[in-house]
Every structure is written in C-alpha cells, then in structure tokens.
Amino acid sequence: MNAKNRLTASAAAAALLAACLSAGAAAAADLVISNWDGYMAPDIADAFKAATGLEIEVVNHATNEEVMGKLMASGGKGYDVVFVSSPFAEILNGQGLAEPIDKAAVPNLANLYPEATTLAYDPGNTFSVPYTWGSTGLCYRSDLVEGTPDSWMNLLQPTDKLKGKTTMLATDRWLMAAGELAKGYSVNEKDPAKLEEVKNLLIEAKKTLLAYDDTTFYSKLVSAEASLVQAWDGWCNYGITENKAIKFVVPKEGSDLWIDTIVVMKSSENKEAAMKFINFILDAKNHAWAAQNILYKVPNKAAMESLDKALAEQYPNMAMAPADLVKFELLRDLGTAQKDYSRIVSEIKAAN
C-alpha cells in the first residue's frame, strides 16, 4: 500500500467514524421509557413516531423494585416516563421525583372512567395516570376443585384434597392482603395486634401451600400441579387462555384494587414530549391494545367500549365494572409500618 492509498484509507476510516458518531447522536431518543416487558404494543415506537415525529427508546424492567432501585440510585435521571404500580408512584411523588401532569397537554384524560380520576393515592391524576387496573382473587381449576371457592379461607385453610395444591403470591403486600382480607381487616392494616393474627393465620396456611409464586402460578394450574392459587385477575386470564376449566373469582371478603400507573420524571428534559406520550397511550385505540393483548382491564372508557364482546365472554373478569373495582381498597405505602410488614413476612417465610 503506497502513501497515497494509505491516506485515502485513513480518510475513509475517519469519515466512517464520523458517520457512526452522528448516527449515534441521531439515535439518541427524545424520550426514554421504562416499562415491563410486553406491557405496550411492540410497535409503539414506530406508531408514536408516525403520530408525533418523536423518537422513543423503551427499556424494560422486570419489577417495580428494579426500576425504583435504578431511579433511587440516579436521583431519577435517565428516564422520562416510567410505568410503576400505584404505591411506587406514591413513593416517587413523596420523594419529589414525579412531575405534575400537564392536563392541557393530555386531552385524552377525558377517556378515563370517572372512577379512575378520583383514586385515593392521587385524586385528580395530579402526578400519575392509571394504565391498567384489576383485582386480586382466586384462580382455580373448576374441574379439580369441588364446589365454587368464594372465600379467602378456601385458600388459607384448604380441604384435604387441596392441601399441597395451592399457591400464594410471593410479594409481601399481596401475601399479607390475603390474610388481612380473610380476617376482614384493611389491606393497609397497621395495628400490631391485628397483624399478629394475620401472621398466625398465614403461618398455618403455609403448611398447606405448594409454593409462594408470583410468576408461574397460572402455568402450575395449567399443568395441574396446583388447583387453587392466589392470582391477579389478568394473570389468571393467561391460564384461561390455555385451559377453559380455569376460572377466576373475587372472594366474598373482597380484594385489593391494584393499579399500574404512568409517571413522568421531574428530571426529564423533554416533559412536553412525555405528556404527548401519555396522551398517545390514552388514545382509545392504543389503550385498547393492552386490554386485547395483555388481558388486563384498562381504566379507559372509550377503549373498553371498543373491545369485542367475545373477549369478556372468554375472560369474564374483563367485564368487571369500574364501580365494583373501586369498592376495593388500594395498597398504600405503609411508611414506617413497612418494617413491621417485612419482619412479619420474614417470620412467615422462615416458619416451618
């Protein structure tokens, strides 16, 4: 290679490098969004770009705790919009990390059910917008369970036939909620005496349990490894998809109301785009995607009314009315009582 060629080659390399750098700069998105894997339409970035010309980058988190850990470590930087469950939205707001929702920039808020705009943790949707909501109840194999379970006690004190065939959610708040609801207490109960009763009930229940499971309980039902499990309604629907004998019921003592929300970070440098994104999600067609594909109820009246009636026939819990849902109590952040809860859950899990 002579000198001239070498020069050309290095110039070409430099040009290539420059091209790479500028491509890298162009790829830097307008918004970074953290969500659970599969919780939005896979083509959301393209659809959003087509509608607004804005680029979004979607990163996934497996759990609320994971994204919260990242946000706490970075002081909220690096993300514009995060999807978290309501108690975590409450924490973000409590820590001053959540940006107020700019109502004027989100006209599609009008699509929400009135019930979804007066939720106890954030009445008036000041810092969060609900994305999906539902209940926690019993998911069971109607062909393997005698009669229709209608009480949390069916799970906590199962018949001999069901012993070793039940699972409970592993996440501490829902694990506690099953015991609290069975006793007729609040799912945010803080009275130590009442918590002690709940603890004893749950330690007894542990002896009859197959496992604590909050990720694969519905597949355990499908494989008949379990017959009756504590489940979020949407996840029970995944079981129903695979086996029609699987049914969901909210026990007579009630349920909690869980809500996954969208929060804009105060540290976001592109809040206007973030509000546009929320408005885009709340569009009836886009929001209906979640109901159709992840089988969770969405608090969007226009979206729910656009759904095919067959969906609610196959998955009856999809038809649960908002007025009935909001009768259930929300899990709230416990503040200092969190220590008591985590100790009790440790005690339950360490019990033999």
Partner 1 sequence: MVVPCLLVLSYAFFQRGVWGGVEYTFTLENFARVVDPLYAKIFLNSARIALTATVVAILIAYPAAYAISRAPRMTQPILLFFAVLPFWSNYLIRTYAWIVLLNREGLINNLLRTLGYTGEPLSMLYTESAVIIGLVYNYLPFVILAIYSTLSRLNPELMEASRDLGAGPVRTFLRVTLPLTLPGVAAGGVFVFVLSIGNFVTPALLGGGRFQMVGNLVYDQFLTANDWPFGAALGAALILTMIVLLLLQARATAHASGERKAEAER
Binding residues for partner 1, rule: CB under 8 A, are 63, 65-66, 68-69, 72, 91, 94-95, 164, 167, 170-172, 206, 209-213, 223-225, 333, 335-336, 338-339, 341-343, 345-347, 349-350
Least gap, CB of 344 to partner 1 (angstroms):
10
CB neighbours of residue 10 within 10 Å = 10
Closer CB to partner 1, 89 or 282, in the complex: 89
Q: Is the dihedral of CA 270, 273, 279, 285 positive or negative?
A: negative
Closer CB to partner 1, 56 or 68, in the complex: 68
Least gap, CB of 188 to partner 1 (angstroms):
15
Least gap, CB of 41 to partner 1 (angstroms):
28
CB neighbours of residue 337 within 10 Å = 15
- Phi-psi domain of 19 (left: phi exceeds 0; alpha: psi -120 through 50; beta: other): alpha
Closer CB to partner 1, 148 or 342, in the complex: 342
Least gap, CB of 310 to partner 1 (angstroms):
31
Q: What is the DSSP letter of 34?
A: E
What is d(CA 214, CA 36) in angstroms, rounded to the nearest whole number? 15
Least gap, CB of 313 to partner 1 (angstroms):
30
CB burial string 315-334: b at 16+ within 10 A, e below = bebbebebeebbebbbbebb
Contact 32, 269 (CB under 8 A): no
Least gap, CB of 320 to partner 1 (angstroms):
28
Closer CB to partner 1, 161 or 252, in the complex: 161
Closer CB to partner 1, 314 or 338, in the complex: 338
Which residue carries 């909620």 as its tokens? 177
Contact 162, 228 (CB under 8 A): yes
Closer CB to partner 1, 109 or 210, in the complex: 210
Instruction: Please report which helix (H) or strand (E) contains residue 30, including its range.
Output: none
Contacts of 295 (CB under 8 A, 6+ apart): 234, 237, 238, 241, 315, 318
For residue 211 the two structure tokens come to 């496992």
